[in-house]
Structure 1
Amino acid sequence: MHDIFVPAARPDRPGRQPIGLSAPADRIGGGAIFVPKARIAAIVLSDMQDSFAALSAPDPETAAIARHITDFLAREVRRGALSPSLRPLRAGIGTIANAVLNGFADAPFEGMTMYSEVLQDSAFDLMDAGKLDIASASSITLSARRHRDVMARFDHYRDRLVLRPQEISNHPEIVRRLGVIAINTALEVDIYGNVNSTHVMGSHMMNGIGGSGDFARNAGLSIFVTKSLAKNGAVTSVVPMVSHVDHTEHDVDVLVTEQGLADLRGLAPRERAVDIMNNCAHPDWRDDLDDYYRRACHRGGQTGPKRYQALPALEAPDVILRSCACCGRLGRGAIGPTNEACTHPHPSS
C-alpha cells in the first residue's frame, strides 16, 4: 500500500530532478523506509486505538453544494473540457468536504481517481459505490464506524490505495501535471474571490491551512465550498472583505455554497463580485452586499474597492447592518458600536 519515494540528489540540482509520477496509481518508490539498525534505540508495541474523526451526516446544504459541483463538472464534460472520469479529485478534511465528496456517488462519473493528502470516509464510500478506482494520499482519517469496516475488509481496499510521503502527495509539480480538481473548504469568502480558511473574525484560529494552499495554487481546477450562513444563520459567510486571507482571488476558480455556484475563471474583479453576490450569497444578505459594492464603486477605483474602516449603518426595517471595524465581517443587531457584529473582544472604538 505504501509508496515511499525520496528524490535523489544531483550535484548540480540537489533533490530537483523530475518526479516520475503521471497518474495516481503509479508507484515509483519502495514499500518502506530503510533505517540502519544502529540508529534504532527501541521498538515500542502498542494496541492504542487511533483517534477517530467526528463527521456529521450530509445535510440539505451540503447535498446542495455537492449537486452544484457535480452539475458544473457534468457541463464541463459535455463541452469537452473534462473526460467522463474527470481528473484526479482532491478534497479537504472536515464534515463539509466529506459530505460534498459523498455527493459524487450519485453523479454520472465512472472510473474516478483521487490524488489528495488525506482520505476520509467518503473515499471509501465511493469505492464501495463502484465510482472510485484508486486513491492516493499521505494519510487516512476515518470515523469510528468506517474505521471498523475498513479494518474488517482491508484486503478489499489494499490494492486501491497508495500512501505516499506528504512531500510527494502535495508536490506542486505532480498536482499541476495531473490537473487535479481540488475541493477545499472555506470559513468565509469575499465578493472578490478571496478566501479565509483558517481564522474566525480574523484573529481566532479555527484550524491550520493544511494542504489547501498546495492544491489551490497548483490545481487544474480550484474549487472552494462553504455554507452561505454561519453561526446558525446569524452571520453571512459571503462578506465584503475577508477578515484574513489564506487564498487570494488568483488561486480561486470556482466558489460554491448551497445557494449556487460562481465560475470566476476569466472574470474581472467587478464581474466576480456580481457573480458571487448573485449566485453564492444568501438571499437575506444580497441587498446589503450589493449596497456595500455600490458604495465601494462610487468611491472610485478600476478593480476592487479599498476597504472601509467601518461602514455606515445600512438600515433595514428592524435591524442595522454594520461592518466590524477590526475584521470587516457583516452582522445584524441593534444600533450600537460598529464592532457589535463580532463576539470576540475588540479594541475600543
Structure 2
Amino acid sequence: MTNATRILCPKLRNRIMSAREAAALIPAGANVGMSGFTGAGYPKAVPQALAEHIRTQQAQGRRHRISIWTGASTAPELDGALAEADGIELRLPYQSDPTCRQKINEGRMDYIDIHLSHVAQHAWSGFFGKLDIAVIEVAGIAEDGRLIPSSSIGNNKTWIDQADRVILEVNYGQSAGLEGMHDVYYGTALPPRRRPIQILRPEDRIGEKYLFCPPEKVIAVVETNAPDRNSRFSEPDETSRRIAGHLLDFFEHEVAQRRLPPNLLPLQSGVGNIANAVMIGLNDGPFENLTAYTEVLQDGMLALLRSGKLSMASATAFSLSPEANQELADHIDFYRSRIILRPQEISNHPEVIRRLGVIAMNGMIEADIYGNVNSTHVMGSRIMNGIGGSGDFARNGYLSVFMTPSTAKGGAISTIVPMVSHVDHTEHDVQIIVTEQGLADLRGLSPRQRARTLIERCAHPDYRDRLLDYFERACASGRGMHTPHLLSEALSWHQRFEESGQM
C-alpha cells in the first residue's frame, strides 16, 4: 500500500512492513493481546499471516502456539484462522468462533470465560501472566504518535500499556471520520488507590480521544484496507416480535407506575436478533429522547440514532451489518456527535452501571423455574460463547432482563427447565424473564411464587404442565419448601435430551 497519509509519525513510518514480516516477530509461547470486540476493530492481516507462519513451523516439526487475549469475540480472520491452524493454546475472555468452540469443547484449547469488566484489572494484577505483544488495529497515527482508535476500543488501552512490544495495523478501511468519537480514560487504578469514575450521564466525556503508545514499543506497522466482518441481522421473525412486544408493554407499564421516567433509563442491549428486534420496536414506540450505556452498538441502535428517538449512545464497539457499517461511514459526522466509544472496563464498569440505572437486556440459553439463568453452556458442559458483559450489567443494572424463545431445536428443548444445567446469573440477579409466551416480573416474589409465575407466563404450552407437575411434586416431597427440588429429576430433562434428542 503506497498511501501513507494516515501514518503521520516519522518514527513509525520507518517501521512499516508486511503482515508476514510482522507475524514472524511473534514467538511461540507468547501471550498476545489482540484488539477487537464483537467483530469490530480486530487486526485483519497479521493474524492470518501468523496462521500461515504457524502452519509452516508445524510442517517442520516445531510446535508453535500462542495465547490470545482480546476484548471479546473477533472474526474468522483472527480467531478462525488461528484456531484452524491449531495455533491457540489459550483464549480469553469471550469468543464466538465455531472452530474455537469445537476445540475448547474437545479439550484442545484452554479457555478462560470472565466478566468483561474484570479483564483489565486481572491483567494489571498479573493473573494471566506477562503480556508479551499487543497487535492493535487503529484508524491512523498522528504526527506525535497518538493512535486513532478504530471501530472498537475493548481492552486496547490495557494491552498497549502492558505489552513489551506492539504491532500496529493501520486500517484504511476504517473511516477516518472515527477520529474524535472515542473517550479513553487513563485514570483507572487498582485498589486501594482506585478513584470514582466521574460519569454522571451517558454523554459525559472523562478521557482522551486517542490511545497513547511510546513509539519505542512499536516493532511493526502494517497497512491494511479491509472492512470489519459482521453478519447481517435477520428481519425479526414472529417470535422475536412477540418478545419485543411484551418488553415494550412492560416498559409502558413501568412508566405509568412511575418506576421509570418517560424516556426510560439508559439502555444496554446484548448482541443478537432478539435484542435488535427490541431496538426496532423502540423505534416505533412512544418513548422519546432515549439514551444508551451499553457494550455494543448494533443496527437497531444506529437506526434509533438516525430517527432521533435515541439522543446519545455510549459503547465500547460497533457490531454492524455491512449495510449499517456503510451508513455509519456515509454519515460519520452525524454519528460522531452522538456516539462515544470507551474502553470496556469503563463501558462495563459496575459503579457507572449502578449510578446511571441502566436497563440491562440480554439473551440466555435457559432459565430454571426459580429464575437462575444459564447464558453460556449447552447441556451443562459445552461452552457456546461466554458470559461476555451480561453479568456486569445484570448484577448492577436498575432492571435485569433476560430474553429467549421458549423452545429451541424445533421444540425439542424447553428453555424453561426445572434446574439449569449451568448457572451464570443466579436468581438474585434476575428480575425479568421474557419469552414469546409472555413476561415474568420476578421482583418481590419468593422462590415458589417465582416458579409459578415463570411456568405460567414464559414456558411453552408443550412443557407447561410437565413443569408444573415437577414443581408440585417437589413441593409435596417434604424435602424443604423454600426452593423445592427433586434431586433425582432436576436435570433429567437434559439427560433425556442427550439420550433421545427430545426433552
Does structure 2 retain, via aligned residues, the 8 Å contact 1:323–1:339?
Answer: no
Bigger mean CA offset, 230-239 vs 256-265? 230-239
Q: How far apart are residue 285 of structure 1 and its match?
A: 1.3
The answer to whether residue 393 in structure 2 is matched with residue 215 in structure 1 is yes
User: Which residue of structure 1 aligns with residue 184 of structure 2?
Assistant: 4
Name which of 306, 323, 338 aligns with 2:485: 306
Does structure 2 retain, via aligned residues, the 8 Å contact 1:323–1:341?
Answer: no
Instruction: Give me the whole-angstrom Cα distance separating, in 2, the residues matched to 1:235 and 1:282.
Output: 10
User: Which residue of structure 2 aligns with residue 112 of structure 1?
Assistant: 290
Instruction: Give me the whole-angstrom Cα distance separating, in 1, the residues matched to 2:295 and 2:387.
Output: 13
Change (3 A) 1:82 1:282: same
Instruction: Give me the whole-angstrom Cα distance separating, in 2, the residues matched to 1:5 and 1:139.
Output: 15
SS in 2 for 1:70: helix
**Amino acid of the residue matched to residue 298 of structure 2?**
Q
Bigger mean CA offset, 98-107 vs 282-291? 98-107
Q: How far apart are residue 302 of structure 1 and its match?
A: 2.1
User: Which residue of structure 2 aligns with residue 340 of structure 1?
Assistant: 500
Instruction: Give me the whole-angstrom Cα distance separating, in 2, the residues matched to 1:179 and 1:84.
Output: 14
The answer to whether residue 440 in structure 2 is matched with residue 280 in structure 1 is no
Instruction: Give me the whole-angstrom Cα distance separating, in 1, the residues matched to 2:229 and 2:254.
Output: 38
Q: How far apart are residue 233 of structure 1 and its match?
A: 1.6
Alignment of 1:150-169 (within 5 A): 150-169=328-347
TM-score when normalising by structure 2: 0.62
Q: How far apart are residue 307 of structure 1 and its match?
A: 4.4
The answer to whether residue 450 in structure 2 is matched with residue 290 in structure 1 is no
Q: How far apart are residue 53 of structure 1 and its match?
A: 2.7
The answer to whether residue 248 in structure 2 is matched with residue 70 in structure 1 is yes
SS in 2 for 1:41: strand
SS in 2 for 1:135: strand
Q: How far apart are residue 100 of structure 1 and its match?
A: 2.1
Q: How far apart are residue 150 of structure 1 and its match?
A: 1.4
User: Which residue of structure 2 aligns with residue 234 of structure 1?
Assistant: 412
SS in 1 for 2:300: helix
Q: How far apart are residue 8 of structure 1 and its match?
A: 4.9
Does structure 1 retain, via aligned residues, the 8 Å contact 2:240–2:273?
Answer: no
Q: How far apart are residue 219 of structure 1 and its match?
A: 0.5
User: Which residue of structure 1 aligns with residue 171 of structure 2?
Assistant: none
Name which of 357, 382, 404 aligns with 1:204: 382
Please list the CA deviations of residues 3-26 of structure 1 after superposition, one character each: whole Å capped at 9, or x if unmatched: 01022559x832x11111011000
Instruction: Give me the whole-angstrom Cα distance separating, in 2, the residues matched to 1:119 and 1:299.
Output: 48
**Amino acid of the residue matched to residue 483 of structure 2?**
G
Alignment of 1:249-264 (within 5 A): 249-264=427-442
Please list the CA deviations of residues 35-55 of structure 1 after superposition, one character each: whole Å capped at 9, or x if unmatched: 222222222211022111342
**Amino acid of the residue matched to residue 6 of structure 1?**
Y
User: Which residue of structure 2 aligns with residue 335 of structure 1?
Assistant: none
User: Which residue of structure 2 aligns with residue 22 of structure 1?
Assistant: 200
Does structure 1 retain, via aligned residues, the 8 Å contact 2:413–2:502?
Answer: no
Does structure 2 retain, via aligned residues, the 8 Å contact 1:176–1:220?
Answer: yes
Instruction: Give me the whole-angstrom Cα distance separating, in 1, the residues matched to 2:358 and 2:332.
Output: 27
**Amino acid of the residue matched to residue 185 of structure 2?**
F
More helix by share: 2
**Amino acid of the residue matched to residue 255 of structure 2?**
V
Name which of 83, 87, 92 aligns with 2:265: 87
- Computed over aligned residues only, the root mean square deviation of the Cα atoms, in angstroms, reads 1.8
SS in 1 for 2:434: strand
Identical positions, percent: 52
Change (3 A) 1:156 1:294: same
**Amino acid of the residue matched to residue 426 of structure 2?**
T
Name which of 489, 492, 497 aligns with 1:323: 492
Change (3 A) 1:271 1:4: same
Please list the CA deviations of residues 131-166 of structure 1 after superposition, one character each: whole Å capped at 9, or x if unmatched: 101000001111112112211111121110000000
The answer to whether residue 359 in structure 2 is matched with residue 185 in structure 1 is no
Q: How far apart are residue 261 of structure 1 and its match?
A: 0.5
Q: How far apart are residue 236 of structure 1 and its match?
A: 1.1
